[in-house]
């Protein structure tokens, strides 16, 4: 036997096996092709978990991502009870993980990419004037700004291949220069949301010709860890209430929308 030919054939076989291990057909088997699909980041708690529950209840295929699935008890329970919910490991600041996930789902249509994952930055004192921490600044910006853009880039063909073709960026009233121009409690978080708004707006301009809708939405004042950290004492929504309203907003989106930040109650958030 020709040794070189044998080695070449073996290498080809191994390459084919590796390709099949991450083929879109394998990933597609985990979904109901008759149902729409959402890829959701930051799904392990708060509004992200509520969104996973909301979309699952509506019969969607849910690719629910989080940094540490082993610690996401409620999300894992949701997936155990619903075969159309898939939990995937993803740190949106890790380009390699984004690439690996995109390769796994290559060719699988994704109707909605919902960029929910965000980091407030802790402790709060490290993003206030007089004690500004560079490492925290970088991580907040990578999580809240670069992550959504890079994930959108990685999955743009999946979005384009779907029926609904929607990319969502989760913003906050804290990113509004008009509403929060006099507030200096969360320098990095406020800056990151303003930057994310601009990034999504630019993305909207680039992808409109492909029929892709890019929208910027805010969950409203929700009873989450972020609200607790802010010291807010007023009325608030439950995560489930916010998720239900967000679902309706996303369902109603069209290419004709203006692409400006909109609160969960339908009111525009001024830049």
Query: pLDDT digit string (tens) for 183-207?
Result: 667 889 999 999 999 999 999 999 9
Inform me whether the pLDDT recorded for 109 exceeds 80: yes
What is the spatial distance between Cα 181 and Cα 271, in angstroms, rounded to a whole number? 10
- Is-contact 41 65, C-beta < 8 A? yes
Q: Cβ atoms within 10 A of the Cβ of 5, count?
A: 9
Query: Which CATH number does the domain housing residue 255 bear?
Result: 3.40.50.720
Alpha carbons 202 and 206: distance in angstroms, whole number: 7
Q: Half-sphere exposure of residue 63, counting CA atoms within 13 Å on the CB side?
A: 27
- 219 in a domain, yes or no? yes
Greater confidence, 63 or 30? 63
What string of DSSP letters covers 166-230?
Answer: EEEEE--GGG-HHHHTT--S-HHHHHHHHHHHHHHHHHHHHHGGGT-EEEEEE--SBSSHHHHHH
176 occurs within a structural domain: yes
Give the CA count within 13 Å in the CB-facing half-sphere of 47: 30
The Cα–Cα gap between 153 and 174 comes to 25
Q: How confident is the model at residue 225 (pLDDT cuts 50, 70, 90)?
A: low
Pair of tokens at residue 103:
């390769």
Tell me which H or E stretch contains 140. Answer: helix 134-141
Rounded percentage of the chain residues whose pLDDT exceeds 90: 70
- For the segment 136-156, the average pLDDT, to the nearest whole number, is 97
Is residue 140 included in any domain, yes or no? Answer: yes
Question: Could you tell me the strand order of the sheet in which 85-89 lies?
Answer: 85-89, 61-66, 37-40, 112-115, 166-170, 213-218, 262-263
Backbone angles phi, psi at 177, to 5 degrees: -65, -30
Residue 47 in domain: yes
Q: Domain range holding 54? A: 25-263
Cβ–Cβ < 8 Å for 61, 35: yes
**pLDDT recorded at residue 185:** 74
| 63: β partners | 39, 86
Q: Is the pLDDT confidence value at 49 over 60?
A: yes
Total number of domains in the chain: 1
Spatial distance between the Cα atoms of 47 and 104, rounded to a whole number of angstroms: 26
pLDDT of residue 126: 87
Q: Whats the size of the chain, residue-wise? A: 271
Q: Is residue 7 part of a domain?
A: no
Q: Is residue 114 part of a domain?
A: yes
Q: Is residue 12 part of a domain?
A: no
Long-range contacts, stretch 226-233, CB < 8 angstroms, 24+ apart: 226/46, 226/120, 229/120, 229/122, 229/124, 230/185, 230/186
Give tens-digit pLDDT for 8-28: 555 554 444 444 443 444 444
Q: Is residue 206 part of a domain?
A: yes
CA–CA separation, 174 and 197 (whole Å)? 11
């Amino acid at each position: 036997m020709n040794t070189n030919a044998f080695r070449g054939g073996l290498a080809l076989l191994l390459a084919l096996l590796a390709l099949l291990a991450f083929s879109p057909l394998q990933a597609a088997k985990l979904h109901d092709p008759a149902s729409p699909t959402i890829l959701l980041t930051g799904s392990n708690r708060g509004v992200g978990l509520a969104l996973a529950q909301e979309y699952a209840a509506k019969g969607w295929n849910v690719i629910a991502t989080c940094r540490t699935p082993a610690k996401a008890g409620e999300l894992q329970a949701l997936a155990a009870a619903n075969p159309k919910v898939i939990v995937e490991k993803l740190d949106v600041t890790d380009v390699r993980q984004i690439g690996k996930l995109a390769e796994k789902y290559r060719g699988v249509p994704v109707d909605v990419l919902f960029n929910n994952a965000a980091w407030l930055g802790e402790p709060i004192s490290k993003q206030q004037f007089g004690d500004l921490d560079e490492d925290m600044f970088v991580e907040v910006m990578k999580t809240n700004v670069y992550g959504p853009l890079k994930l959108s880039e990685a999955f743009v063909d999946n979005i384009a291949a779907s029926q609904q073709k929607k990319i969502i960026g989760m913003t906050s009233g804290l990113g509004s220069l008009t509403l929060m121009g006099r507030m200096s409690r969360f320098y990095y978080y406020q800056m990151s949301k303003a930057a994310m708004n601009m990034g999504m707006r630019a993305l909207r301009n680039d992808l409109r010709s492909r029929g892709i809708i890019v929208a910027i939405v805010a969950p409203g004042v929700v009873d989450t860890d972020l609200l607790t950290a802010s010291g807010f004492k007023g009325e608030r929504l439950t995560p489930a209430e916010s998720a239900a309203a967000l679902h309706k907003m996303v369902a109603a989106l069209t290419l004709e929308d203006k692409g400006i930040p909109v609160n969960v109650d339908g009111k525009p958030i001024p830049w």
